[in-house]
């Protein structure tokens, strides 16, 4: 794998590395691996991801500018500003060091809560194009059949998940900006593991 070779010298940086992707997306793909006895997941950015995203964003920016020149509605919605915000968010996702730092910030925020788990970042095998995280296991938060079979109180789980998101927004000012069910796992004891910190939002004090 080209990116892994360029960033870490190859799969030999891990004690075991599965070349078959566990998951795949437009920006990168995820592999399972081991570091010693630890199970990890390794996100590897696709070689041409930055160039492809940059081209697409340039097209969007051009379309937004054209629409704003010819449409009062587009100007009213500040279409150019929306595309600029979207561009900043997407470019930040391309740098896995940013995602690693986000995960560590969330881990510090929830360090005192045994009911919330944030995956550990393995810094020695993390670069701008490769991200290594502790692999978490559990039930998907929307797998109602599995939750019921495990005896999980769904009402209590909903309260816990809502509390996590409220703490992020109202107390920490740093929140997960992509909180879909695929990013939340439930352990047999009902605790939550949260993953995927490429896209976050941050609230600041008003100036």
| Structural domain count, the chain | 2
Q: How far is CA 18 from CA 13, 42, 121, in A?
A: 12, 10, 19
Sign of CA dihedral 69, 73, 74, 76: positive
Enter the pTM of the model.
0.87
The tens digit of pLDDT for each residue in 45-63 reads 988 888 889 999 999 999 9
What confidence category does residue 186 fall into, taking pLDDT thresholds of 50, 70 and 90?
Answer: very high
Domain boundary among 32, 66, 92: 92
Average pLDDT in the 31-44 region?
96
Instruction: List the catalytic residue out of 18, 95, 143, 178.
Output: 178
Q: Which residue has the tokens 């000012």?
A: 173
DSSP letter for 124, please. G
Does 146 lie in the same domain as 72? no
User: Could you tell me the residue range of the domain that residue 73 belongs to?
Assistant: 49-92
What confidence category does residue 27 fall into, taking pLDDT thresholds of 50, 70 and 90?
Answer: confident
Does 139 lie in the same domain as 37? yes
pLDDT at 164 over 90: yes
Higher pLDDT, 178 or 204: 178
d(CA 129, CA 48): 11
In a domain, 118, yes or no: yes
Sign of CA dihedral 71, 77, 78, 83: negative
What pLDDT shows up at residue 89? 83
The total of other beta-carbon atoms located within 10 Å of residue 114's CB is: 9
Does 78 lie in the same domain as 21? no
pLDDT at 150 over 80: yes
The answer to whether 78 is a known catalytic residue is no
Higher pLDDT, 53 or 1: 53
What pLDDT shows up at residue 207? 63
């Amino acid at each position: 794998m080209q990116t892994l070779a360029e960033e870490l010298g190859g799969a030999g940086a891990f004690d075991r590395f599965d070349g078959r992707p566990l998951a795949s997306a437009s920006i990168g793909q995820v592999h399972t691996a081991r570091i010693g006895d630890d199970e990890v997941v390794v996100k590897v950015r696709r070689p041409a991801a930055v160039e492809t995203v940059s081209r697409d964003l340039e097209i969007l920016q051009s379309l937004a500018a054209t629409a704003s020149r010819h449409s009062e509605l587009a100007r009213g919605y500040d279409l150019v500003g929306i595309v600029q915000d979207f561009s900043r968010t997407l470019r930040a996702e391309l740098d896995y060091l940013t995602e690693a730092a986000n995960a560590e910030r969330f881990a510090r925020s929830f360090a005192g809560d045994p009911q919330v788990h944030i995956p550990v970042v393995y810094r020695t095998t993390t670069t701008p194009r490769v991200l290594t995280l502790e692999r978490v296991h559990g039930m998907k938060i929307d797998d109602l059949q599995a939750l019921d079979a495990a005896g999980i109180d769904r009402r209590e789980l909903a309260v816990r998940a809502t509390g996590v998101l409220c703490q992020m927004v109202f107390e920490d000012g740093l929140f997960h900006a992509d909180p879909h069910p695929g990013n939340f796992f439930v352990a047999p004891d009902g605790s939550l593991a949260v993953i995927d910190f490429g896209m976050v939002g941050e609230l600041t004090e008003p100036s």
